[in-house]
Structure 1
Amino acid sequence: MKRKFLNILLALPLLFSGKVMHAQERDLSLAEALAMAAKGNKELQIQTLEEIRYKEISRETKSRLLPSISATAGYSRYFDRQVIFLPGSFAGTDKAVEDVAVGGKNAFNGFLSLNQPVFMQNARRQKEAALINEKIQKEKTIDLESQLAFQISSSYFQLLLMSNQLNLQQQSLSRNVRALVDTRALFAQGRSLKVDTLRSFIAVENLKSSISYLRNNIEVSGIQLKRLIGLNESVVIKPTDSLNVELNQAESYTLDQALKTAELNRHDIRLQKLSIEQEEKLLSASKAERLPQASIIGQYQLQAQADHLRLGSYTLPRTSFLGFQLTVPIFNGNRTNAQINQAKIKVRQESIRLNDVKEEMNAELAAIISRWKEANTQLHIHQTTVDAAALNYTMMNDRYKNGLSSRLELTDAELALTQGKISYLQAVYHLKLLYVELQRSLGLLKL
């Protein structure tokens, strides 16, 4: 009984360790990866916080147009009484000016102040510029999401490509190991040359090297993808999507249609238009520095003075007023003119940049559509090649089984079939990657 109990105790750690190892593996589709990145990507989190920060900047800018109310209280202890200067006749002396000590040695005062801007055009226009800046940050967030979606899609497809290549290489290794065993057996019987055995051995070792290289690249690509989507580094990703070709929405796009779609949806163009609008508002705000400013001001004040600190016996005389204040700028050393000229230059720069972005968009879309057409052509060529290589391998395998061809011919046919399948996978990968790139260039790619 004790022995059985001991065996159970020894088996428990192995059981739980197996569960932990299994828990470290995760099947992941592209849609799941994009959804995880929307919540877990650090760069996107930073940009989201930046968007919130600019909302607070807008609130700060709006505050310049709201009433400002402040309360102030103070206490002063005078070791010598305060002095005022009066005509001597007022003070009962013959001097032209006489200094007279007045007030108590303990002075208390408190007042409530009000300032309400009535006309302040520069603050109003800066508020409008701040609201545009909020929109810019929102567009930056959406643009970053589009870039992340492209990076994640390309990393996922690359991982998927290498996983499929690894499966093909492992299948090829299995066939070549069998070929090496057969060649060695034939060589031992004197029915094969040593060079055939050596060639089979080299083929097996080359495949082992390729498999090792692919596994390392899969690990590196997995690390990069996990960083993008915010997944724990200890988790092993297993892509579940396939490299099947879905023919395809992109074929319906002509260059003119693509340009019109991109003009409406691309976030960099929206950003640039908003930047121009913002600089125009800042130019308007600089011009508003020349305008007068008007405010309603008011104050309510309490004060008391005495030589003692018996606060209950203090009198509290009140002073209050409400008024209107007008400020007219006359000359500030040409500072306003310099700011206006700077703002005009910025507007011109942003307009030139918008034209440059549009020209870059035109060239980018023309190149992608051209590459898309070529990728489709290459895919059909590689599909034909794979079909021919598969037929050739089947024929060579039948001939070899019937003693009509050599093992070397069968090995060459197997190598041609594997290379053809790998080339086809790469063609599918490039086609899917181009489609994602086209969607991003059109402004249609989102997390």
Structure 2
Amino acid sequence: MKTKILYIATLLLLTSSIHVLYAQKRALTLTDALEMAKQGNKTIQMQILEEMHAKEMTRETKSGLLPSISANAAYSRYFDRQVIFLPGSFAGTDKPVQDVAVGGKNAYNAFVSLYQPIYAPAKYQLTKASKINEKLQNEKTADLKSRVALKVSTSYLDILMMNRQLGSFEQSLERNIKALKDSRSLLAQGRGLKSDTLRSFIAVENLKSSVSYLKNSIDVSSIELKRLIGLKEPSEIELTDQLELGMTIGQNEFRQVDEAFHIAEKNRNDIAIQKLVIDLTQRKLKTAQAELLPQISLIGQYQVQLQADDMKFGQYSWPRTSFLGIELSVPVFNGNRTQSQISQAKIKAQQEDIRLNDLKDEVRTELATILSKWKESVTQLDIHETTIQSAELNHKMVEARFQNSLSSRLELTDAELALTQAQINYLNAVYNLRVLHIQLQHALGLLSL
């Protein structure tokens, strides 16, 4: 019995070890995250289905220009013979109109009909409009991928930034805990002030609060990042990229607004979408105008019919009727419905033209803002690089003086605070440049999955 219990315990231990290994953090680079978002993002999946829907709509509209062939068959049983009305003289009576019962009680009818549009301008324009809509959905997919890439990249950098801030706060917390121990020791020896100990205690508690808040923010941001990339695994993710700039910062990054706008106008999907919307509106206008034009169609039919009183099919004769002709349809008056549709399409076209101009102005403003922020962020980075070096040197000097009893605990605490703040400011400057670089790529239409 003891051996069996030991065996079960060992098995459970091995199983738990496997689960622990499975629950290890998954390494994730920014490139991996973007590739996973391309395949796993739910919004992109829905938009791809919208592309497929647009293709089917194009097939549907094209079918309006193809021949339509239908076959029909019917059987009817008459309990009373069918009646026709003839002049009395035709029926051999003196009545002006004489009803005559004709036909068999069993009626059979079968026919095949053909309808082929020859000149159908409205259907032709509608087909063109559906093709434009298909291109429009393709551009929407590309635009959505660009926006998802921006969200994923920004979220990834947010987590990197918070991880680096967490590291700085944890280092500061260690130093402040040591300072608190020193203050308590000095206070116990009668060589320190109670206010210094209280100040160190407050600093430690504030840092603990900041560390706890950052850890929770990292967890929440990680959940959102996993949702964006479509990661369903329960394991945690570990970001392996570095926050430090992987690009050269210099004046060559500073583009003029006109140059940047020229690049954006050629590459941005939202501008391409708006242009396609204008084309689609123009095509709908032509479709409405085509409703005023005549339509010509080829029609034909082959029919077999029979009437009899019995079910002796072998004795039946099957009369056949067939024809082939041209049908002309000319719109005359439909209550000004078509004229109203034309007016609506013209108004819509004017609206879309204004919207395109407004979009271009918005893009130009966005680029000008990003480029201005870029220049300022480069300046801030240079300043904070110098500041953090000075803060580190000052902290070392004050710490050495404190150890030699040449400075107070308050001076060391101030130096510690200045160093932590300088590190945070430097990280913010690096983070801002990374985010601005991604935003610039997106604004230029160069960012995608």
Range class of TM-score, shorter chain: over 0.9
Matched, 1:16 2:18: no
Q: Distance in 2 between matches of 1:396 and 1:6?
A: 62
Would you say the 8 A contact 2:254–2:375 is kept in 1?
no
Give the structure 2 partner of residue 412 of structure 1. 414
State the one-letter code of the partner of 1:427. Answer: A
- Output one character per residue of 1:160-185: Cα deviation in whole Å (capped at 9) or x when no partner: 11111111111111121122222222
Would you say the 8 A contact 2:267–2:445 is kept in 1?
yes
- Output one character per residue of 1:309-363: Cα deviation in whole Å (capped at 9) or x when no partner: 3333332111111111111122222122111111111111111111111111111
Give the structure 1 partner of residue 262 of structure 2. 260
Q: Distance in 2 between matches of 1:133 and 1:341?
A: 21
Give the structure 2 partner of residue 349 of structure 1. 351
1:76-91 residue pairs with structure 2 within 5 A? 76-91=76-91
Matched, 1:62 2:62: yes
How many residues align? The count is 446
Would you say the 8 A contact 1:111–1:302 is kept in 2?
yes
Q: Distance in 1 between matches of 2:318 and 2:298?
A: 26
Give the structure 2 partner of residue 157 of structure 1. 157
1:340-419 residue pairs with structure 2 within 5 A? 340-419=342-421
Deviation at 1:252, TM superposition (A): 4.0
Would you say the 8 A contact 2:85–2:100 is kept in 1?
yes
Would you say the 8 A contact 2:180–2:197 is kept in 1?
yes
Give the structure 2 partner of residue 276 of structure 1. 278
Give the structure 2 partner of residue 442 of structure 1. 444
State the one-letter code of the partner of 1:330. Answer: V
- Output one character per residue of 1:416-439: Cα deviation in whole Å (capped at 9) or x when no partner: 111111111111111111111111
SS of residue in 2 equivalent to 1:323: strand
CA 1:149–1:418: 2 relative to 1, 3 Å: same
Give the structure 1 partner of residue 137 of structure 2. 137
CA 1:400–1:18: 2 relative to 1, 3 Å: farther
State the one-letter code of the partner of 1:74. Answer: A
Q: Distance in 2 between matches of 1:322 and 1:292?
A: 20
Would you say the 8 A contact 2:249–2:378 is kept in 1?
no
Would you say the 8 A contact 1:291–1:328 is kept in 2?
yes
Q: Distance in 2 between matches of 1:407 and 1:14?
A: 51
Q: Distance in 2 between matches of 1:248 and 1:83?
A: 97
Give the structure 1 partner of residue 301 of structure 2. 299
Would you say the 8 A contact 1:223–1:233 is kept in 2?
no
Would you say the 8 A contact 1:298–1:322 is kept in 2?
yes
Q: Distance in 1 between matches of 2:13 and 2:201?
A: 38
Give the structure 2 partner of residue 36 of structure 1. 36
- Output one character per residue of 1:16-73: Cα deviation in whole Å (capped at 9) or x when no partner: 3344244332121111111111111111111110111011111111111000000011
Gaps of 5+ in 1: none
- Output one character per residue of 1:383-429: Cα deviation in whole Å (capped at 9) or x when no partner: 11111111111112222222322333222212211111111111111
Q: Distance in 1 between matches of 2:348 and 2:315?
A: 65
SS of residue in 1 equivalent to 2:79: coil
- Indicate which of 325, 334, 348 corresponds to 1:332: 334
Q: Distance in 1 between matches of 2:427 and 2:233?
A: 28
State the one-letter code of the partner of 1:90. Answer: F
Q: Distance in 1 between matches of 2:11 and 2:413?
A: 48
Q: Distance in 2 between matches of 1:188 and 1:10?
A: 51
Deviation at 1:265, TM superposition (A): 0.8
- Output one character per residue of 1:61-102: Cα deviation in whole Å (capped at 9) or x when no partner: 111100000001111111111111122222222222211111
Q: Distance in 2 between matches of 1:234 and 1:353?
A: 44
State the one-letter code of the partner of 1:217. Answer: S
Q: Distance in 2 between matches of 1:14 and 1:423?
A: 47
In the superposition, the TM-score normalised over structure 1's length comes to 0.96
CA 1:408–1:10: 2 relative to 1, 3 Å: farther
Q: Distance in 2 between matches of 1:22 and 1:436?
A: 35
State the one-letter code of the partner of 1:96. Answer: P
Q: Identify the range of structure 1 (211-220 vs 395-404) with the bigger mean alpha-carbon deviation.
A: 395-404
SS of residue in 2 equivalent to 1:244: coil
Q: Distance in 2 between matches of 1:153 and 1:371?
A: 19
In the superposition, the TM-score normalised over structure 2's length comes to 0.95
Would you say the 8 A contact 1:82–1:101 is kept in 2?
yes
Give the structure 1 partner of residue 197 of structure 2. 197
State the one-letter code of the partner of 1:53. Answer: H
CA 1:18–1:378: 2 relative to 1, 3 Å: farther
CA 1:306–1:63: 2 relative to 1, 3 Å: same
- Output one character per residue of 1:124-147: Cα deviation in whole Å (capped at 9) or x when no partner: 011011100101101111011111
Would you say the 8 A contact 1:275–1:350 is kept in 2?
yes
- Indicate which of 408, 420, 426 corresponds to 2:428: 426
Would you say the 8 A contact 1:160–1:242 is kept in 2?
yes
Would you say the 8 A contact 1:196–1:408 is kept in 2?
yes
